[in-house]
Structure formats: C-alpha cells, structure tokens
Homo-oligomer: A and B are copies of this chain.
Amino acid sequence: MKVAGIIVEYNPLHNGHIHHIEETRRLSKCDILIAVMSGNFMQRGEPALIDKFTRTKMALENNIDLVIELPFVFSVQNADTFALTSVSILDKMGVDEIYFGSESENIEPLIKIADILESEEYSVLVKKYINDGNSYPTSYDLAIKDLSDTNEHSKPNNILGVQYIKAIRKLESKIEIKAIKRINKDYYSEFDAKGEIQSASALRKALFNKEDISKFVPKSVSVLLKNRRLISLDDFSNQFKYILSSTPSTELEQLFGVKEGIENRIIKVKSISSSSDFISQLLTRRYTNSRIRRMLIHILCNTRKDVLTSFEVPYIRLLGMNDKGKDYLNVIKKNDSINIISKVKEGIHPYLDMELRASKVYSLVSDKDIFKEEFKPLIYKRFNWLKSKKEYNIFGW
C-alpha cells in the first residue's frame, strides 16, 4: 500500500490546492492521501478564516482520505518547527512520500540549500547579520546569498520545502520528499489567464471585500463558506485591548514568543484601535510581521512557555476521514507506538488542553461554538455521499 502525505492549511482550500492534490495522486499513485492541517490558528500568526471543522470538510470533499490536526502549539510557529512537527506526524502515520507545492519543479536546489543551512559557515554568517540588527528572514537571505548563487531559497514555498528536507533528516525518516510545481503566471500563463488560480491570501482579501470567489474554489468550498462569519485578527481587537490593560510585563514574558525584550515594547503601547494597529505599533526592522502575529496569537490564547516545553509530537488527533481513511486507520492503529486520540476530553495532554483553549478563544468571535464541536465525534465522509448539507453525518468510529 502506498501512502502519500501533504501539509496544508486550506485557508481556504482553492483551485491551486486541487492541483496539488491531483498532482500528488497522479505522481505518487498513492492508495491513501493524508493531510496534516493547522487548526484554528495559522502558521503566519492569523486566525483561520473559517474554523478547522469546516476546513476538514473542505479537505474530505476534495479527495483527502485522512485529515490530521497539527496541534495549535506547533502550527503557530516558525517554519522550522511547523515543518518538523508536521513531517513528524506524517512519519508516525506511515507516509511514504510527502508532496509539497514549490516554486521549483525538482528538489535538488532545495537540498543544496538545506546543506548550506546545516553548515558551520551559514550559522556564523546568520548570527552576524542578526547581530547587525536584521530580521531572521533577511539574515537568512543574506547568508545564503553569500554562500551560493541560488535564488530559490527566498521563495515562500521553497522556504518550507527546505524545512521539510531538514525535518526528514533530523527525524531520520525514510519519507521521500517531492516538489510539485505550483501553478503561477510564469508557468501556466494560459491557465492563469482564465483566472482559475488565486493565492489563499488574495482569496481572503476578496472574501472580506465580499467579492465572488466561486471561480477560484471548488463548488464544495463555496457551499461551506456560504453565510458563514469569516474571521480575521481584527475580530480580536477588544481582547487585545483588555490584555494590554490588564497584563503586566512580568506576566507577558511568561508567554510563548515573548522574548528579547519585546514585552517592554508591548507595555509602552499606550492604546490601540485594533489588532492591526497593535501589530503596526510593534513592528521593527528586527521582528517580521509574521513573528509579531504569532506572538500575539500566543498572547491571545495564553500559551505559557512552561507548557510548551517540547516539539516532540505527543499524540495524533484526527479531524476527519472517509471510508478509505478509516480502513487505513484500522491498520495502523495496531501499531502501539502511535498514540491516537479517539475521544477528545480535557486533561489528556497539556497540548490538547491548549488546543481546547485556542478553540474557546476562537469561538468568542465565530458564528459557531467551535469549542463544543471539539468533543463531537469525528467528521466522517461516507463513500456514497449525498450532495446535501446532510452529507456530513457525524458519528463515532
């Protein structure tokens, strides 16, 4: 049996992702396709546009067999940790190959970059650039440019691709990694001219502007988004105002991501009109927008440093599956080394408690009680399923 894995956020799932899924299935000839997906908060430090249960349905509707949650404490992290923990989950799930969307068609240039990143020269150079007051991404860029003539390293999907390669090496995993060339103007210009592909961030922007995005997403996604309240970081503006009013710096510095004196910068912020305003008041050359956003998400969800002590994946939490996924699960469940959580409750693991807290916070601004949904049986997609809302018959397994 061949098992392929992909690492996704689906915020929201769009035609580019369909291409990724189809190409993964075509190239791998896999029997099972597993997706590791971020929950309610994204790697770049944003709340998901729409909750994770709805996004799980999007995935199951579009040919994913098993959807596994990347725990909150791993999803709102830098690319290193995000990649390491996602790959670790796919490794535990017995995945043979990981396919990732890339600006390159093959992974050789990315392997070279991974080699550079693991060299002594690189770590000396990157420290120098950081000490000069540059942000981490700028230092990364400058150091690699000093050591090679590649341009591949700074492309956003390749940054993650390189991290996947590093993760596989670190985990000593046998997983093979493959690049799928993303569809973009340079490559599929005709396809793009028809305008069927847009980036997730362009689609979010369009959605908040109440524009029609139906030609850029599968029909199932349009249906699932219809009449739903869409969430952005600015929906948490009042929560950030309260946090700013009530939290002394000694307590802020106990939260994950608050380091290098940024707690003192936060305390100096006199007042904010919104979350975005808060971010813009915190931005400096040293801290990237994503890093500030991730820190704010951890402040919002009260992620304590003393809770997030390890980047080892402690459990596998399934979000949804179809019949094929269920069959595969029954096979690998026999493997005792995998701790699969079949029934969510409080007190199982501090990271799962943190997940539940993040869902409580997300529910404050969502149109659904996402926290309550955490305890419902898994989302299950029957093989012969009806094209109605009732198709999501949620039941235990």
Interface residues of A (CB under 8 A from B): 238-239, 241-242, 244-248, 251, 271, 300-302, 353, 357, 360-361, 363-364, 369, 371
Contacts of A247 in B (CB 8 A): 302
Contacts of A245 in B (CB 8 A): 357, 360-361, 363-364, 371
CA distance A385 to B271 in the complex (A): 35
Contacts of A242 in B (CB 8 A): 238-239, 242, 361, 364
- Known: A245-B363, A246-B300, A247-B302; 8 extra A-B contacts, CB below 8 A, are A239-B242, A245-B357, A245-B361, A246-B357, A246-B360, A246-B361, A248-B353, A271-B369
CA distance A320 to B310 in the complex (A): 54
Q: How far, in Å, is A28 (CB) from chain B's closest CB?
A: 41
Q: How far, in Å, is A324 (CB) from chain B's closest CB?
A: 36
Q: How far, in Å, is A169 (CB) from chain B's closest CB?
A: 36
CA distance A295 to B77 in the complex (A): 35
B364 lies within 8 A of A241 (CB): yes
A301 lies within 8 A of B353 (CB): no
Chain A interface main SS type: helix
CA distance A302 to B360 in the complex (A): 20
Contacts of A364 in B (CB 8 A): 241-242, 245
B301 lies within 8 A of A246 (CB): yes
Q: How far, in Å, is A240 (CB) from chain B's closest CB?
A: 10
CA distance A239 to B364 in the complex (A): 11
> Which B residue's beta carbon lies closest to that of A271?
B369
Q: In the A-B complex, list the 10 residue pairs whose CB atoms are closest, starting with the nearest.
A: A245-B360, A246-B302, A245-B361, A239-B242, A246-B361, A245-B364, A238-B238, A241-B364, A242-B242, A242-B364
CA distance A371 to B247 in the complex (A): 15
Q: How far, in Å, is A304 (CB) from chain B's closest CB?
A: 8
> Which B residue's beta carbon lies closest to that of A302?
B246
> Which B residue's beta carbon lies closest to that of A240?
B242
CA distance A302 to B242 in the complex (A): 11
CA distance A239 to B240 in the complex (A): 10
Contacts of A353 in B (CB 8 A): 248
CA distance A248 to B301 in the complex (A): 11
Contacts of A238 in B (CB 8 A): 238, 242
Q: How far, in Å, is A344 (CB) from chain B's closest CB?
A: 16
CA distance A248 to B241 in the complex (A): 20
B302 lies within 8 A of A357 (CB): no
> Which B residue's beta carbon lies closest to that of A245?
B360
Contacts of A271 in B (CB 8 A): 369
Contacts of A360 in B (CB 8 A): 244-246
CA distance A361 to B361 in the complex (A): 20
Contacts of A301 in B (CB 8 A): 246
A-B contact pairs, 7 of them (CB 8 A): A241-B364, A242-B242, A244-B360, A245-B360, A245-B361, A246-B361, A251-B302
CA distance A360 to B270 in the complex (A): 10
A357 lies within 8 A of B248 (CB): yes
Q: Which of A246, A251, A301 has the most CB of B within 10 A?
A: A246
Q: How far, in Å, is A303 (CB) from chain B's closest CB?
A: 10
CA distance A245 to B251 in the complex (A): 18
> Which B residue's beta carbon lies closest to that of A300?
B246
Q: How far, in Å, is A227 (CB) from chain B's closest CB?
A: 23
